[in-house]
Amino acid sequence: MSSTPNFGLNAPQREAVKYLDGPCLVLAGAGSGKTRVITQKIQHLIEDCGYDARHIAALTFTNKAATEMQERIAKLLKDPKQAKHITVSTFHSLGVKILRQEARELGLKDRFSIMDSDDCFSIVQDLAITTDKQLVRRIQNAMSLWKNGLVDPEEAIKQAVTEDEAQAARIYRSYVATLAAYQAVDFDDLIRLPVELFRSNEAVRDKWQRRLRYLLVDEYQDTNTCQYELVKLLVTGLGKKPMFTAVGDDDQAIYAWRGATIENLKTLQVDFPDLKVIKLEQNYRSSTRILQAANAVIGNNPKLFDKKLWSEHGLGDPIKVMGMEDDEKEAEQVAIMLSAHRFERRAKFSDYAILYRGNHQARTFEKALRRERIPYTMSGGQSFFDRAEIKDIISYLRLIANEDDDPAFIRAITTPKRGVGQATLEVLGTVAGQWQCSLFEAVFKGGIEAKLTDRQLYPLREFCHFINQLEARASRVGPAGSGENAAAVLDDMMKEINYEHYLYDSFDDRAAQGKWQNVLDFTNWLKEKGTGGKDGAGDERNLLELTQMVALMSMLEGQDEDPDAVRMSTLHASKGLEYPHVFLVGVEEGILPHKGDPDAPAETIAARIEEERRLMYVGITRAQRSLHVSWCKKRKRAGESVVCEISRFVKEMKLDEGDAMPTEAEQITPQNRLASLKALLQKPRAA
């Protein structure tokens, strides 16, 4: 019998850790310790059941979650080094791993390229022959949903009902062919292609099944059709007992818009009839009042699995609901209340979060926080390095540092345009595939002259010579290749590519000016770093060293220690996080729940309201100790003042029933509040 340690685990958690007789679904309510179950189960598999760490995989949805999980496992294991051998990764990282090792089976070269969404945007824009960015995004979105739903182009064309759908499906067909010609894959292919490979190649599938003998899946409710298929293909086979644990919560399924399907929870019971279901209902995060409100709201949704969260944290503070005059007043009041609340509780700024339904609500709150001198950080905002104009310049630097970087090659040669079109690049991609080399190298391969005209070949070779010259200057060691020279190389590069001219040609004056300013800020910052920083005390760096530094910075950005600041975040981005004190703002009809299409079929509207309700549930359950809910009586929309209505979800919280209502002692008068604040001010602050 196993000797799993019992400390720190309640009875259902212990059962989930120990269960190894087949497939297992752990329904883990918000704050119920699901990560603990996954990490301790991995420890149990290795130390009590004799599993080799190399044969275990844990899949999650974000790099941050994967890193944290790996660190927690290392702390649990007697030999922490074993944690490195476990595959703890996102679905996409596992997909990359499979594709890198099996590229040839799919007709890809070993060093295939992964296109980012900007690269893909440009391809779709060229194929659709349009400058309408909204249309391109819609087509991109449709293609992503098709790929995640495992719908191939021919099937998408057959299923098309309207002309718009048919056009998107035809572009999808050309897009798939273009990527194949480039020897490239996009983000969605990282899971789709391994699924197609496992379906068609039994030997490869068997190899990976032998390699990954126990699978754990976190946030299972967020899987799409393609991800579920990958899980299924990894755990099922002739005479094979499916060995996996899926951990999820049907009440927190909030990603239907990106193809995630709650149906996967239902399907699991059909595909695996002997599925063991274990519920985790004890919440370790929130007070009883917060959980009662969350249970009351989610109780209005039809249930796949019935569960009720409970806590031993006591009743906690009453939940406050505040109706505000308008959105500016709401932001102003929230900032003042947050400041007073923090003062009273002697709390830190980082104990607070302001959560909203959409990014457009953030601006007013940012203004109000700045006015009150409250530091804040934003989740989900765009990083400087993610701006298209910065990525354009970086693509040239990446290519100078590594001419085999195919996505950088494609981006640099097409932005600004240098007389190289889609057809030329497709031929180049084919040659690169035949020779198993980079696109850059393929430009100089024998036989390419027969496939391209001089008019097509000349700009290609011209561009490559230009990159080679820059590389020779960028990598030179000694004074000639560092310091000032990095600046000189950079200036010559910018002059040659004439990027400013391209911006003013492509965007209106105001947008072009903003983008060009960003580019200047970036290049000036690079030059400064090349000459040893602001004070000149650091090391001089050549352009190659600067490029490596930028690559690392853009990868690590956002991984710094969290500052002492209020966290502003959309509800979607807040999932999985927790805060002592939460302000849930803009809780009105039309915002939460989101308006959606009023003419949609009744079942579509009902499904949307259910998803919005789950979003409200996620918002409520982020709070540990106190929750403030605010809504506006009026709100400015397109310059006009519109009357708003409090969200139906507030009524569903049942705050006027039972022990949710504040007691007499909890109802503080304004005079008493003022007196207690004065008393606080007179108390000496703790050192």
Q: Annotated active-site positions, please?
A: 34-35, 218-219, 252, 622
CA angle in degrees (0–180, nearest 5) for 524-531-557: 60
Using only C-alpha atoms, the chain has a radius of gyration, in whole angstroms, of 28
- Find tokens 């991995």 and name the residue: 42
Ranges of beta strands (E only) in 174-254 are 184-185, 214-217, 244-248
Residue 459, beta-bridge partner list: none
Q: How far apart are CA 248 and CA 26, in angstroms?
A: 6
Asked if residue 588 lies in contact with residue 642, where contact means CB atoms within 8 angstroms, the answer is no
Beta strands 640-643; 634-637: pairing state: antiparallel
Q: How far apart are CA 17 and CA 619, in angstroms?
A: 28
For every residue of 195-214, which 3-state class applies, written as one string?
Answer: HHHHHHCHHHHHHHHHHCCE
Beta strands 184-185; 320-324: pairing state: unpaired
For 42, phi and psi rounded to 5 degrees? -65, -45
CA angle in degrees (0–180, nearest 5) for 35-38-42: 140
- Find tokens 């099922």 and name the residue: 236
Q: How far apart are CA 232 and CA 195, in angstroms?
A: 10
Asked if residue 463 lies in contact with residue 413, where contact means CB atoms within 8 angstroms, the answer is yes
Tell me how far CA of residue 65 lies from CA of 27, 129, 163, 370, 575, in angstroms: 18, 40, 42, 31, 11
Token pair belonging to 623: 């709070």
Token pair belonging to 183: 């020897």
Asked if residue 96 lies in contact with residue 185, where contact means CB atoms within 8 angstroms, the answer is no
Long-range (24+ apart) CB contacts under 8 A made by 509-518 are 515/387, 515/388, 515/389, 516/389, 518/384, 518/387, 518/389, 518/390
Tell me how far CA of residue 499 lies from CA of 417, 522, 525, in angstroms: 10, 13, 18
